[in-house]
Amino acid sequence: MLVVVTATFLLVHLAPGGPAILLDPALDPADAEILRTRLGLDRPLIEQYWRWLADVVRLDFGSSFTFDRPVIGLILERLPATMLLGGVSLLFALAIAFPLGIISAKYRSSWIDQLSSMVTLAGISIPNFWLGIVLILIFSVYLGVLPSSGMSTPGRPVSVVDVAQHLFMPALVLGLATMASIAKYTRSSVLGVLKQDYVRTARAKGLKERLVLTRHALKNALIPVVTVIGLWLPRMVGGAVVTETIFSWPGMGRLAISAAFQRDYPIILGVTLVVSTVVVFTNLLVDLVYGYLDPRIRLD
């Protein structure tokens, strides 16, 4: 986390130009210098870094240049929307990927397996921005059954149904690539497990194929799949930038894009720190799940 935030700090501060607020041609040079002093940008870079790092230890990410508000407040406002979008996308991906991968492994080389391979290949290959635009054209412009942007309908009381309608398309776009990757890894892992002796023994005992697949094969095949899920979780939090921008979803990704265009350093650094934290704790969670799935790899 320290390496990531340090590298980000250096990159955003060494980039040519400066915050967009200082690049306004209508801003008087004297006023720009006063503003630069007020923002602390006139100090040496190393001093700015240590001051920022000392504030971060106290969970103070500074104030936004654009919104003139504490960054931590802006992130906490946007984080629930991003977590909702990422959580629903992940549930959608897992709900489709596990059955799809298991069925493909069970009926290997059949037309079902070939159809599954086409679906997963399409899911991995289709860009998010293109799929999002296509879905908006179909469901919002032509059919008019789903809203095209936002998290709720302005002027109406917020309801579960209204939020679900706004959530459907961005969750589908964000979850499709995740679903495709998890399905492919599930298929490959289950295929390898089905060749093991204990699976043949379970079948020889007369267990139903459903029990063989779910109780014996799937749990032992989950370790590489859990690794993929652990890699995708941070990407769904940080990678929601494009999806949130297309659908005007009021999440952290859209906040990061706005901050990048405005050169709002405190917001960029704050969002980077949050995503880095998610990556670190996701890796810890994956390690803990490893020990649950396979007791042989637990540490004494």
- Tell me if 184 sits within 8 A of 232, measured CB to CB: no
Q: Superfamily assignment of 82-297 in CATH?
A: MetI-like (1.10.3720.10)
Report CA 105 to chain centroid distance, whole Å: 28
Indicate whether this model's pTM tops 0.75.
yes
CA distance 249 to 146: 14
Q: Give the pLDDT confidence of 41-54 residue by residue, as tens digits.
A: 777 888 888 888 88
- The pLDDT tens digits for 146-198 are 888 888 887 777 788 888 888 899 989 888 888 888 888 888 888 887 777 77
Domain ranges within the chain, ordered by starting residue = 82-297
Angle of helix 265-293 versus helix 252-262 axis, rounded to 10: 140
